[in-house]
Structure 1
Amino acid sequence: MYIFIRMGVNDVYGDAVIVFELMMLVTSVCALLVSGWLWLQARRRSSLQALSGFGVMMALWCAGHVAILQGWERLGILLILANPLMPTFFLHFATRFVYPGRGRAPGWLQWLSRHVAALYAIGAAVILISWIGPGGRTVPLGSFEAFFVFQGLGWFNIAYTVAIGILAHLVLVWGLSVHKGNLRRSIVAMFAAGGWGLLLATSFIFPSLGIDWYPYPMLLLPSYVVLLVYGVVRYQILEANTFAREALPWLVLALVLLGVMALVRAFATTLGLDELSAVPLAKLWLSGLIAVAAALLLRRPLNSLSGQLIYPGVRLNEALLERWLNRLKSAGSWDALQRLASELITRQMGQPVRIQLQQEGEPVPPAREGALGILCQHRARGWRFRLEGWDDLKPGARLTGEVFGSLLATSCGLLERSLQLAEAERRRLASEHLVELGSLSAVMAHELRNPLNVISMATADLPAERRALIQAQLKRADRQISDLLLYSGRMELQPQPVDLGGLLGSLEPLFDWQQTGFETDLPAGLQLRADPHRLQQVFTNLIDNALSFVRNQPGSLIRIDADDSGRHIRIHNNGPAIEPSLHDSLFQPYVSRRAGGSGLGLAIVRRIMDAHGGSVRLRTDLGWPVTFELVFPEGAGT
């Protein structure tokens, strides 16, 4: 505000002086704000305390120039001559940053680390000497009524300041040679910012050397403070990057606004705006900066107010969204994710919300009339959500559903990738295990079949009834050995088009159906690209497994059908349902529900389907007590 008063009552100062004074004020304010933030962050990295002190001294140095322009010349000279503490703080920071007091370091660096207090004392002595000296005075410079220049002991002051600055950068050079990663990147950023600062501050010395030149580079000093601190902390404190991302658009907006104001003022006379052309450019720039600052301060309150006006009653905030996402990411299965999502959105909405997760290829579940629901579907480009029953709700409630649906779709993608990685790891371990098991099985099969053959031959003279009993058990043992070899052996496929209807027709005479019905419902001419021998083993195992539970049961039935694509083939039977406790372990080896089973039938089915790039799973939601669904990869069914 006082700059407006000065521009109104003292026209001796031109625009250039006002701009210089404004930039010094901006630099001082920026340095103080950054220093305060660094001090708060210093509990994470103690070296930031020294960098905070550097920022304070930078603010006082710029305030000294403002004081001189305000007529407080003695105070301004004292503040400017206090500049030796600025590089001393930076030297302290650089020492702590590259050498926190442990590990190997040169003797001179260890000495600096131990005697930082002595450096501050020497710097204070230099300041005191230059104050008494005297070390500086003010002289007219162009449009400036007074500008600081060094004299007498002031040259010792500036020489000491430069020497300490060089020493600080030597410390950084050593750090650059020993450190890697983010620490090294921070040091490189310090060098870049230091070079920029040296370029900007050089013009400050010109008047002391008798060069009558306006210090244009000093107008950019605010950028030096920001770039130095940001370059240091951006690799150490992630919040700095978040702040920079939010602040950069506003900085660009301010620069564009200043440029537009200067352009409009230049052509004001041409446009017939004579009153605007008479307004000093500094006044226009200051007004624009105040407008940008006011907009920045009011941005969050206005966003909150507009959100409440447009979406009344909505209670969404960053903390809630983060809590939702963390809870959803904690789910380890599709059922857990569906249950957890329903609980979260139901609690938020105050009424039941049904969550449906639809994998690719699954039928779309019907929507319930009048019920709220979120359907999350897997598509070619990832997971997408759809709101069901939300059309008549208020915009705020619908916004809540859309935000939650978006988080749910993201969580579905994360869970899918997590499960895929877990499955890939399981297959890798299983493959390693099967290699070992295959070698062992081949040896054991040879060793076991020899005595079994001897036993079989020894039963020739036994009574028929006893011989039949022993032969049945020998066949059972041989079948188990065959299953073990099949499960543990190498799975080499020879895929070719297979007529599924013809394959099932050829298998039908091989089974003892014992009054069990058998029917198929397949698309006409359905062919699968698969290994016919392995595919026959899959259906043989599944049909044999089903028959063991439905033979001689009234109305027993086995039915095989497929969808139009031929990729989803289902084997149903109306035998007893499988106990829920067995669902998770059903396809693991040596898990069997029937007496006399090897416990490898379903495990072999899964291994064959895995080799084809497909899968097998138990379904209990299709109206049959037991359904095994074979899912083949895309392009397998024609």
Structure 2
Amino acid sequence: MTLSLMFEVAMLVTSVCGVLVAVWLLWRARKQSDLQALAGFAIMMAIWCFGHVVLFQGYEQIGIHIILANPLMPTFFLHFAIRFVNSGSVKEPMLERLYQAVPWFYLTSFVVVLQSWWIGAGDAISTLDTRSFFIFTEAGTWNLAYTVLIGMLAHGVLLFGWYRHSGNKKRSILAMFGVGAWGLLLATSFVFPSFGISWFPYPMLLLPTYLLLLVYAVVRYQILSVNAFANRALLWVAMMLVILCVIAVISVVSGRIGLQALANVPSWQLWLYSLFILVVAAVIYQPLSRLVSRLIYPGASLNEAVLDTWSTQLKEAQDWPQLIAVGERLLSIQIRRSVAIQLQSSAYPVKEQNDALAIRVSRSDSDWHFVLIGWEDASPGMRLTAEVFASLFSTSCGLLERSLALAVAERKRMDEQHLVELGSLSAAMAHELRNPLNIISMAAYDAPAETRQHIQTQLKRADRLVSDMLVYSGGLTLQVVATPLRSLIASILAQAQLEGVAFELDIDETIELDADPQRLQQVFINLIDNAVSFLRNMPDGKLSIEAKEQYQQIVIQVHNNGPAIDASLQGEALFQPFVTKRAGGSGLGLAIVRRIVDAHGGKIRHRSDSAWPVTFELILPRHFSGAAISNREFHDTK
């Protein structure tokens, strides 16, 4: 095969590739309009390369006129570069103005082409084997210079886009620059004969690769399916190169080992035969692969469409029952047999079922895994389908688990935000209620004594409710100091209106803890007032408070012999706001007590296992965290 024939074949292959690429780009341009200009560039390159083929076949004038249309190639590429770089929500003013001038670029290019035809800017010379090859005349310098200038402008636009963009678009532009350097290397040899350099344009034999690499550099980050095609294409090219090397070795070695007939066959024929076999193998690979798969796995008809349908429908499940129902339906339809899915998880415990065919999916410490149950007598195809589906179903379980966890976290965040807003609203309302209460108190001053006494009693009750709301809804600021416990509680009992209720105090004088005395005083006032409200009408009402130190903790128990607390109120419900059985109570007393105890790092609970009908047990740390700091703030987040 002569060099000129190889050149002609390379130009013809480039023309065919250009047409195919242009058709594909125009089809894709329905979604990406900037690819229309790139399709125009591919068509012009196909026409330009076909001009060389026409020239080699002896139609010199037609070939020269086609080749002289080369200014249109960089014009189409400039059009594409502007659209590609300036696509997106933010438009560059400079590129917008340049885009408005694109019709003028096309018009100028057409004028240059027509002028080149008119003045005879091209000619043909004979190469070493008497074939015609295109050269520029002196009048064609303007055509060549204009083509180079438009190409430089297009790459300048790309350079500007590389500077302004980031991410995949920036990587695409960088890849285009690399391909552009490759194209420049190939095209440089085209102009050598025009400058009197009698070198054969060897680089142009690789021109088909330029167009394919350029399109791949543009779309590889925008159209992911093209990467799979490029992967297969690169594999076949590598195989062709391997065959070429093997044929070269065979040509050298066959004569020396007695295979003279094989040695006499021209290397290019061996390579052509091998290439033909490779092409045939590429064509029949997929059908043969499907046929073999059906022979080995009869009954299995898995493909990308089926897997995509499975994945899409499983992802749409919103909860565990829906996921199981969708999974059972999809797999049963695929294998035409009833299948049960058994899901074992702490989040969704399901009883095992005795089904003929089942898939058990369970949660381990790190991931989801599956086990096929009852598939021993199933065909290999059905078992393969079940394994593929079970693997996909396990992945969907992990996705749903994370989705539900995110939903729970979001609901918790919204609940916490609602509580914060409710606390702020309660504090604002409590402040606003103080003014009308004061006005009512002053207005009742001239009322009859009995009426005034009744009004004052209710005002005190309202004021107590307002004070409790302010305490419960606001943040707690603790002034932590060393606090003697016995003296603190004794002073509270001395000032309390016990109304005949007997009390005893069993607290050692040496017991001391780090706490805010004002807040701690409020705890015991609430507990004592709550107990007295139930004991005041009892003839033998008794209140007892005892404390002891255990393992750096102070355990305090407040007993009374009043009526036992209802079972429905015991536990966490007892310390919730607005839960009370006390007449005239606000329902915030015990809730405030727990907030203060929690702020100190302690615990409070109601005990029903003591010798007293009612017992509240407080456990407070002996040493408060950060006790060396005299003033410490605690902001409650409830």
TM-score range normalised by the length of the shorter chain: 0.5 to 0.7
Change (3 A) 1:259 1:153: farther
| Residues 452-601 of structure 1 mapped to structure 2, 5 A cutoff | 452-461=530-539, 471-473=563-565, 480-482=573-575
The answer to whether residue 374 in structure 2 is matched with residue 389 in structure 1 is yes
Paired with 1:57 and 1:32, the residues of 2 have a C-alpha distance of: 9
Question: Is 1:53–1:89's contact at 8 Å kept on the other side of the alignment?
Answer: yes
**Residue 348 of structure 1: how far off its partner (Å):** 2.6
Change (3 A) 1:177 1:275: same
The answer to whether residue 56 in structure 2 is matched with residue 69 in structure 1 is yes
Q: Secondary structure at the match of 1:471?
A: coil
Q: Deviations over 1:473-517 (max 9, x none)?
A: 5998786545757699759999xxxxxxxxxxxx998899xxxxx
The residue number in structure 1 matching 2:394 is 409
Question: Is 2:341–2:360's contact at 8 Å kept on the other side of the alignment?
Answer: yes
Paired with 1:320 and 1:277, the residues of 2 have a C-alpha distance of: 51
Paired with 2:43 and 2:148, the residues of 1 have a C-alpha distance of: 19
The answer to whether residue 277 in structure 2 is matched with residue 185 in structure 1 is no
Greater mean deviation of Cα atoms: 287-296 or 26-35: 287-296
**403, 406, 422: which one aligns with 1:418:** 403
The answer to whether residue 12 in structure 2 is matched with residue 25 in structure 1 is yes
Could you tell me which runs of 5 or more consecutive residues in structure 1 were left unpaired when the two chains were aligned. 1-12, 495-506, 513-532, 534-638
The answer to whether residue 380 in structure 2 is matched with residue 376 in structure 1 is no
Q: Secondary structure at the match of 1:58?
A: helix
The answer to whether residue 145 in structure 2 is matched with residue 159 in structure 1 is yes
The residue number in structure 1 matching 2:217 is 231
**Residue 429 of structure 1: how far off its partner (Å):** 6.2
The answer to whether residue 422 in structure 2 is matched with residue 344 in structure 1 is no
The residue number in structure 2 matching 1:4 is none
Change (3 A) 1:310 1:476: closer
Paired with 1:110 and 1:366, the residues of 2 have a C-alpha distance of: 66
Question: Is 1:85–1:120's contact at 8 Å kept on the other side of the alignment?
Answer: yes
**210, 222, 228: which one aligns with 2:196:** 210
| Residues 440-455 of structure 1 mapped to structure 2, 5 A cutoff | 440=473, 449=527, 451-455=529-533
- Is the radius of gyration larger for structure 1 or structure 2? 2
The answer to whether residue 99 in structure 2 is matched with residue 113 in structure 1 is yes
| Residues 51-450 of structure 1 mapped to structure 2, 5 A cutoff | 51-99=38-86, 105=92, 109-143=95-129, 145-359=131-345, 368=354, 371-380=356-365, 382-425=367-410, 440=473, 449=527
The residue number in structure 1 matching 2:448 is none
**Residue 145 of structure 1: how far off its partner (Å):** 2.7
Question: Is 1:133–1:153's contact at 8 Å kept on the other side of the alignment?
Answer: yes
Question: Is 2:343–2:349's contact at 8 Å kept on the other side of the alignment?
Answer: no
Q: Deviations over 1:127-153 (max 9, x none)?
A: 222233322233233356332222233
Paired with 1:77 and 1:403, the residues of 2 have a C-alpha distance of: 60
Give the root-mean-square deviation of aligned CA atoms.
4.0
Q: Secondary structure at the match of 1:270?
A: helix
Q: Secondary structure at the match of 1:269?
A: helix
Paired with 1:182 and 1:217, the residues of 2 have a C-alpha distance of: 30
* TM-score (norm. length: structure 2): 0.66
Q: Deviations over 1:285-329 (max 9, x none)?
A: 444443333333333333333333333443333222211112222
Q: Deviations over 1:162-200 (max 9, x none)?
A: 111111122223323333333322222222211111011
Q: Deviations over 1:340-395 (max 9, x none)?
A: 212222233333211112238999976747x0111223345522222222222222
Question: Is 1:101–1:113's contact at 8 Å kept on the other side of the alignment?
Answer: no
* TM-score (norm. length: structure 1): 0.66
Change (3 A) 1:463 1:425: closer
Question: Is 1:87–1:161's contact at 8 Å kept on the other side of the alignment?
Answer: yes
Paired with 2:254 and 2:60, the residues of 1 have a C-alpha distance of: 38
Could you tell me which runs of 5 or more consecutive residues in structure 2 were left unpaired when the two chains were aligned. 424-470, 477-518, 543-559, 577-590, 613-618, 620-638
Paired with 2:257 and 2:600, the residues of 1 have a C-alpha distance of: 84
Question: Is 1:55–1:225's contact at 8 Å kept on the other side of the alignment?
Answer: yes
Paired with 1:440 and 1:128, the residues of 2 have a C-alpha distance of: 86
Question: Is 2:342–2:353's contact at 8 Å kept on the other side of the alignment?
Answer: no
Amino acid at match of 1:452: N
Amino acid at match of 1:459: N
The residue number in structure 2 matching 1:517 is none
**Residue 433 of structure 1: how far off its partner (Å):** 7.8
Paired with 2:60 and 2:274, the residues of 1 have a C-alpha distance of: 30
Question: Is 2:220–2:226's contact at 8 Å kept on the other side of the alignment?
Answer: yes
Paired with 2:122 and 2:407, the residues of 1 have a C-alpha distance of: 73
Paired with 1:475 and 1:368, the residues of 2 have a C-alpha distance of: 43
Paired with 1:326 and 1:482, the residues of 2 have a C-alpha distance of: 47
Question: Is 1:175–1:184's contact at 8 Å kept on the other side of the alignment?
Answer: yes
